[in-house]
């Protein structure tokens, strides 16, 4: 992962342990209305992909155990990991693109209800993403994947090669024989990227029929997925409008589509608004509909913290029950993958800003992204709305959460990695047992596993009592799957 050039290791901040009475009176443990439902507390476990679904995208016993473990800590809300809305193979990513996924999801809901004693609202994050391929070898790219066009022939001809009427195989061979620098002059920018990083679709690739058709298909896909979520018993859905995926790319300042779904702000908001309207219409009135969005894309030419609040206001106006604010996590600045691997959106600076580590700049990782939530919330309030805003990013203590709520940075405080480190930490704080919280060290061991699509675990607990009876482990038997 990218790290700030001035990287230095920060100390974990001192974390106070309130008494049970102080916790009961604390802002973080007060209820909050989220549209039609009320969360018991303002504690929130944001979406985290644990790579435990089956290869067909079905809920497995390991998925159920994972969420039941979080539910035992009785947070106000758990958001189930990014779940694919299309019925297409997506590896071990949870899916909801067909009715056959509903029974497993229903079991998941039941397990969370039981483990939380009905105290936790359960939402599911709905995601659409575009195709991305692994980085090809130079040989494979030039030998097979590159589409040979008259431009390539003309460029080769200009070097003196016989190219205008040569068979395609000869053109490929001639390109392959060129030194890298000469090849780079013949390939266009997109082809150079396809070679160096692997092919990746963009929302602006409107020459591709299925990309041009996104406005026609996405509202229906999100709506059908949300209806399935409601049928499975989820309390709500979180539309994934953040990070490296389709909807965030549509909202992005980099979206230059000229079909009415890009360009100016109204154009970029058009499809997200249509998705919200279709989703809302497809679920019962009691189902919460919110979104996760970016308060700053942290990429060149992307949406900045200056514009994001205005986008949030329009999304809230479109009928959301909450807006969850994240940061970065983009493909545009991802590190070059090795040949045979795919680019990963959390490896560049924008990825760092999404999940900042203990090795940071002077600002440090703790509560680092709250200014974005604060700006979004202020804009929503200035527009006369009261849509709750969820803040996240390096929140690792009761003090951080309380301070954020007291300052009006957000209405709900989400914690991903700290909750992975100790799924019981909310319950411990509530009963005055905060001194026993196992504290996240923010070194992103878990994130590295996510990057390799390996079952996500935490280094603080995944070797404890491995091999003891009843302890489920990874296939290699080395790591336990669930916190002790």
Shortest reach from residue 156's CB to ligand SF4, in Å: 50
Shortest reach from residue 324's CB to ligand FMN, in Å: 8
Q: Which does 393 bind (CB under 5 to 8 A by kind): ligand SF4, ligand FMN, none?
A: ligand FMN
Among 138, 192, 265, 459, interactor with ligand SF4 by CB under 6 A: 459
Shortest reach from residue 454's CB to ligand SF4, in Å: 12
Q: Can you read off the two tokens belonging to residue 39?
A: 């969360």
CB closer to ligand FMN, 43 vs 125: 125
Shortest reach from residue 372's CB to ligand FMN, in Å: 11
Give the total of residues touching ligand SF4 (CB under 6 A).
13
Q: Show the binding pattern over residues 278-297: x = contacts ligand SF4 (CB under 6 A), - = does not.
A: --------------------
CB closer to ligand SF4, 130 vs 355: 355
359 lies in the binding site for ligand SF4 (CB under 6 A): no
Q: Which does 275 bind (CB under 5 to 8 A by kind): ligand SF4, ligand FMN, none?
A: none
CB closer to ligand FMN, 125 vs 347: 125
Positions 388 through 447 that interact with ligand SF4 (CB under 6 A):
417, 420-421, 440-446
Q: Can you read off the two tokens belonging to residue 431?
A: 């009963």
Q: Which does 443 bind (CB under 5 to 8 A by kind): ligand SF4, ligand FMN, none?
A: ligand SF4
Q: Which does 445 bind (CB under 5 to 8 A by kind): ligand FMN, ligand SF4, none?
A: ligand SF4
CB closer to ligand SF4, 313 vs 396: 396
Positions 73 through 112 that interact with ligand SF4 (CB under 6 A):
none
CB closer to ligand FMN, 197 vs 344: 344
What is the distance, to the nearest Å, from the Cα of residue 233 to the centroid of all Cα atoms in its chain? 23
Q: Which does 291 bind (CB under 5 to 8 A by kind): ligand SF4, ligand FMN, none?
A: none
Contact 54, 424 (CB under 8 A): no
Shortest reach from residue 92's CB to ligand FMN, in Å: 13
CB closer to ligand FMN, 183 vs 293: 293
List interacting residues with ligand FMN (CB under 6 A).
46-49, 81-82, 125, 242-243, 292, 326, 354-355, 392-395, 415-418, 446-447, 450, 456
Shortest reach from residue 187's CB to ligand FMN, in Å: 34
- Per residue, the 3-state secondary structure of the chain, as one string, reads CCCCCCCEECCCCCCCCCCHHHHHHCHHHCCEEECCEEECCCEEECCCCCCCCCCCCCCCHHHHHHHHHHHHCCCCEEEEEEEECCCCCCCCCCECCCHHHHHHHHHHHHHHHHHHCCCCEEEEEEECCCCECCCCCHHHHHHHHCCCCHHHHHHHHHCCCCCCCCCHHHHHHHHHHCCHHHHHHHCCHHHHHHHHHCCECCCCCCCCHHHHCHHHHHHHHHHHHHHHHHHHCCCEEEEEECCCCHHHHHHCCCCCCCCCCCCCHHHHHHHHHHHHHHHHHHCCCCCEEEEEEECCCCCCCCCCCCCHHHHHHHHHHCCCCEEEEECCCCCCCCCCCCCCCCCCCCCCHHHHHHCCCCEECCCCCCCCCHHHHHHHHHHHHHCCCCCCEEECCCCCCHHHHHHHHHHCCCCEEECCHHHHHCCCHHHHHHCCCHHHCCCCCCCCHHHHHHHCCCCCCCCCCCCCCCCCCCCCECCCCCCECCCC
Shortest reach from residue 320's CB to ligand FMN, in Å: 15
Among 80, 253, 412, 458, interactor with ligand SF4 by CB under 6 A: 458
Shortest reach from residue 440's CB to ligand SF4, in Å: 3
Shortest reach from residue 176's CB to ligand FMN, in Å: 39
Strand partners, 289: 237
Q: Can you read off the two tokens belonging to residue 323?
A: 């807006």
CB closer to ligand SF4, 69 vs 257: 69
Shortest reach from residue 410's CB to ligand FMN, in Å: 13
Q: Of 258, 269, 267, 259, nearest to 293 (Cα)? A: 269
Residues that bind ligand SF4 (CB under 6 A): 417, 420-421, 440-446, 458-460
């Amino acid at each position: 992962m990218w790290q700030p050039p001035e990287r230095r290791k920060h100390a974990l901040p001192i974390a106070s342990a309130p008494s049970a009475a102080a916790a009961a009176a604390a802002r973080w443990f007060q209820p909050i209305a989220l549209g039609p439902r009320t969360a018991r507390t303002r504690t929130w476990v944001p979406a985290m992909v644990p790579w435990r679904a089956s290869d067909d995208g079905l809920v497995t016993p390991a998925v159920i155990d994972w969420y039941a473990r979080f539910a035992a800590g009785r947070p106000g809300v758990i958001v189930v990991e990014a779940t694919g809305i299309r019925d297409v193979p997506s590896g071990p990513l949870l899916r909801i693109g067909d009715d056959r996924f509903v029974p497993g999801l229903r079991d998941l809901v039941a397990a969370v209800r039981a483990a939380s004693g009905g105290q936790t609202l359960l939402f599911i994050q709905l995601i659409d993403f575009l195709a991305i391929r692994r980085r090809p070898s130079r040989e494979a790219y030039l030998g097979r994947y590159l589409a040979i066009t008259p431009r390539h022939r003309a460029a080769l001809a200009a070097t003196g090669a016989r190219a205008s009427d040569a068979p395609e195989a000869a053109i490929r061979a001639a390109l392959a024989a060129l030194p890298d620098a000469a090849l780079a002059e013949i390939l266009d920018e997109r082809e150079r990227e396809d070679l160096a990083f692997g092919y990746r679709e963009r929302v602006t690739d409107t020459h591709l029929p299925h990309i041009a058709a996104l406005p026609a298909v996405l509202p229906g896909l999100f709506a059908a997925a949300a209806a399935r979520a409601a049928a499975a018993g989820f309390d709500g859905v979180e539309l994934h409008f953040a990070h490296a995926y389709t909807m965030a790319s549509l909202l992005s300042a980099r979206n230059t589509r000229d079909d009415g779904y890009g360009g100016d702000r109204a154009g970029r908001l058009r499809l997200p608004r249509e998705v919200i309207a279709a989703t809302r219409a497809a679920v019962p009135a009691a189902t919460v509909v919110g979104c996760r969005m970016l308060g700053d894309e942290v990429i060149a030419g992307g949406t900045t913290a200056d514009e994001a609040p205005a986008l949030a206001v329009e999304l809230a106006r479109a009928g959301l029950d909450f807006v969850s604010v994240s940061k970065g996590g983009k493909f545009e600045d991802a590190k070059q993958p090795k040949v045979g691997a795919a680019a990963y959106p959390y490896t560049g600076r924008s990825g760092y800003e999404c999940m900042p580590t203990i090795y940071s700049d002077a600002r440090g990782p703790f509560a680092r992204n709250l200014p974005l939530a604060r700006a979004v919330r202020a804009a929503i309030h200035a527009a006369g709305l009261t849509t709750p805003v969820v803040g996240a990013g390096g929140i690792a203590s009761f003090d951080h959460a309380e301070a954020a709520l007291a300052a009006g940075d957000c209405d709900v405080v989400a914690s991903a990695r700290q909750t992975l480190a100790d799924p019981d930490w909310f319950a411990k704080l509530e009963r005055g047992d905060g001194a026993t919280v196992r504290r996240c060290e923010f070194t992103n061991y878990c994130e590295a596993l996510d990057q390799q699509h390996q079952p996500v675990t935490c280094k603080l607990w995944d070797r404890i009592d491995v091999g003891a009876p009843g302890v489920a482990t990874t296939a290699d038997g080395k790591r336990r799957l669930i916190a002790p």
